[in-house]
Amino acid sequence: MGGLLKEIYKSRALYLFISPFYLLFLIFSVFPIFFSMYLSVQKWDGIGEMTYVGFGNFTYMFTDPTFWQALVNNIALWILGNAPQLICALVVAFLINMTIVKYKGFFRIAYFLPNITSMVAVVIIFQSLFGSEYGLINFLLQKIGLPRIDWFSSSFGSRTAIAAMIGWRYMGYNAIIYLAGLQRIPRDLYEAAVIDGATTAQTFFRISLPLLKPIILFTVMMSTIGGFQIFTEPQVLAGTQSPYPGTDTIVLYMFREGFNYQHYGYAAAVSWVLFVIIGLLSIINWKFFNRSDD
């Protein structure tokens, strides 16, 4: 211990230069984590004194039907918004990686652009596309003889609109990650498969897919984390009114409890339950992929 302190003292100038980052990290990242943990067992409106309530916030949460409905909405949006776009991203990456495809750089940029577009702008555009009166989707439906759909009056319609936004924004991002993984697979494997008479589908399922498992696990985990933190899409979509049916997510519920009703202790408890849910799902994903390796 004494030796370590001496080494730190000898390099004090270097530690001084990097200290601002660690100080900011401690203040804005580490401290809020422990403070929210403490706050989750308190009742506090943000101004007065805190009152210790033990697990009262958690007990109330598990008996609140709004919380469970928000959890159901979140799971539905997570599945609708992530499962199709991850599959599409994998197929797109495989197609771009084929030797017959030219201008790969152009496709990389084109597919990545939606990810750097402002989420608020994306929501406004999709709000117009799914508009019940003058939306482009309803216009096309009527052109092929189908009835108009009031997308934002039902859970399925609202979730479909949000899932489309998520898919449009993150499909290209995940495709770029898959493409990077595909380019690390030796070309020899594909050439040997072609010589043996393997079809494109066989090379995809027998070579690309098994060797991409670590990358797929990464994207599934990141999609799980992002899928349970959906906030901007339903919030901007509904504007100042209540969330559309089926789009009241856990983060929206937590935000409303904390910043609209000043139930900061209860909101902190919700955040920790959300952390546990995401952690459990990540472990399940990790176990599933490891098991499939066996």
| Residue 293 confidence (pLDDT) | 56
Residue 294 clears pLDDT 60, i.e. is over it? no
Question: CB–CB of 81/166 below 8 Å?
Answer: yes
| Residue 103 confidence (pLDDT) | 82
Write the pLDDT tens digit of every residue in 200-255.
Answer: 888 888 888 888 888 999 999 999 898 898 888 888 887 777 788 888 899 999 99
| Confidence at 56, pLDDT banded by 50, 70, 90 | very high
Task: Report percent pLDDT > 70 for the chain.
Answer: 98
| Confidence at 17, pLDDT banded by 50, 70, 90 | confident
What's the chain's length in residues?
294
- Cα 197 to Cα 34, 187, 191: the distances in Å are 59, 16, 10
Distance CA 244, CA 250 (A): 14
Q: What is the pTM of this model?
A: 0.83
Q: Running DSSP on this structure, what letter comes out for residue 278?
A: H
Residue 146 clears pLDDT 90, i.e. is over it? no
Radius of gyration of the chain (CA): 24
Distance CA 63, CA 181 (A): 45
Q: Which two tokens stand for residue 59?
A: 């007990």
| Residue 130 confidence (pLDDT) | 87
Beta strands in the chain (DSSP E): 42-43, 51-52
Residue type, 264: Y
Q: Which two tokens stand for residue 291?
A: 């098991």
Question: CB–CB of 228/273 below 8 Å?
Answer: no
Write the pLDDT tens digit of every residue in 34-47.
Answer: 999 999 999 998 88
The mean predicted confidence, pLDDT, of the chain is 88
Residue type, 94: F
Write the pLDDT tens digit of every residue in 173-206.
Answer: 999 999 999 888 888 888 888 888 888 888 888 8
Q: Which residue do the tokens 């494997």 mark?
A: 189
- Average pLDDT of 112-139? 85
